[in-house]
Structure 1
Amino acid sequence: MFETIDYLQFGNKNQKRAYLAIENLGIMHSLSEYNPILCDTLPIGIDIESSDLDIIMNVVEFTSFEQKVTTLYGNYQDFKLKKLSIRNVPVIKANFTFDGFEIELFGQPKPVKEQYAYLHMIIENSILNDYPNLKDEVIILKEQRIKTELAFCKLLGLEGDPYDALLEFGKCKEIIHSF
């Protein structure tokens, strides 16, 4: 369902705005070689006013990605680019502001459907489908500046590192099968 952003056209007000912003920027087309997928809270309808648009990608060659992203989006407000390591995996991130949204382009040398952001979103979406009453509670916790994964873990009684705990929950519930 999340491979394209078409579903956003029929979503809530913020999802429709996000669709237009992403389309106007041409991100999904211009960066298609990296298999971009919009992840995090907005696709599953638990976004809050300060939520950004996180687009994850499979980026192996950082130099060419950096050049392309800088050429395409370097002139946008608050543009910054950095390279770092997360969980011992090299990562490149570009951030900028467009049409009222903070946008993060996140790349790592890993297929997008194996990245934490995608897996967490799939698990969270499944949980919300099974327990729709949790949606409002997650949003309340997010408005208190609690990260999404931690909010779900608190509500589900999961302990330990929230990123790992949520993945383990997804494996146990057979929400995700690709490990």
Structure 2
Amino acid sequence: MAQGGEMSTTAEVMAHLASGNACQQDAYHVLQSSGLLDILADYHPYPAGTVPIDIDIPGSDLDLLCYAEDLDVFEAEIHNRIGAVAEFKCIRGGDLPDQRPYVTCNLQVGHWPVEIFAQSVPVNKQNAYLHMIVEWRLLQLWETRDTVRSAG
């Protein structure tokens, strides 16, 4: 884990998942064995969402954020590399004036639904990343507050 309790790199998130609870460890093994991180390596994949910060519920998916300068190239490459995987589909979005274009690909890996989100924005500047980091910080503050209350 990075300084301040944040998981700023994919390696840090994966180490966190590998040593986390049973669900997180399962997610780690699925991501490792599926080869998705290797397939997406050129796009700086980052595991995000509810699983890394331990607020997932039954049915939660594994989210992978990616940085793709050219979404057409990204979509074509991903379709060619993993398009045959169960329940694979991609959609384009971002047609609203205040929204950047993106591609979302969904697939099933074992018992996990996986969502791959790509945008021509570095991962650490994407809304999903920023949202997760804020949630993580809040959870850390609440945990610290509860620890102080119980000790006092």
Query: If the length of structure 1 is used for normalisation, what is the TM-score?
Result: 0.70
Listed one character per residue, the Cα deviations across residues 53-105 of structure 1 (whole Å, up to 9, x for unaligned) are 11111112122211221122211111101111164210101101111111011
DSSP 3-state at the match of 2:115: strand
Aligned 8 A contact 1:91 1:107 in 2: yes
In 2, Cα distance between equivalents of 1:63 and 1:127: 36
Aligned 8 A contact 1:2 1:37 in 2: no
In 2, Cα distance between equivalents of 1:100 and 1:65: 25
Q: Output aligned runs, 1:2-151, within 5 Å.
A: 2-3=8-9, 4=11, 5-85=14-94, 87-132=98-143
In 2, Cα distance between equivalents of 1:93 and 1:68: 13
Between stretches 36-45 and 79-88, larger displacement belongs to 79-88
DSSP 3-state at the match of 1:131: helix
Q: Which runs of 5+ in 2 are unaligned?
A: 1-6, 146-152
Match of 1:138 in 2: none
Query: If the length of structure 2 is used for normalisation, what is the TM-score?
Result: 0.82
In 1, Cα distance between equivalents of 2:25 and 2:82: 21
In 2, Cα distance between equivalents of 1:55 and 1:104: 6
Query: Are residues 16 and 96 of structure 1, via their aligned partners in 2, closer, same or farther at CA, if it must alter by over 3 Å?
Result: same
Match of 2:150 in 1: none
Shift of residue 30, structure 1, vs aligned partner: 1.9
In 2, Cα distance between equivalents of 1:133 and 1:47: 21
Number of residue pairs matched by the alignment: 134
DSSP 3-state at the match of 1:48: coil
Shift of residue 27, structure 1, vs aligned partner: 1.7
Identity %: 31
DSSP 3-state at the match of 1:55: strand
Q: Cα RMSD between the aligned structures?
A: 1.7
Question: 4+ runs of 1 displaced by more than 6 Å?
Answer: none
Match of 1:175 in 2: none
In 1, Cα distance between equivalents of 2:144 and 2:137: 13
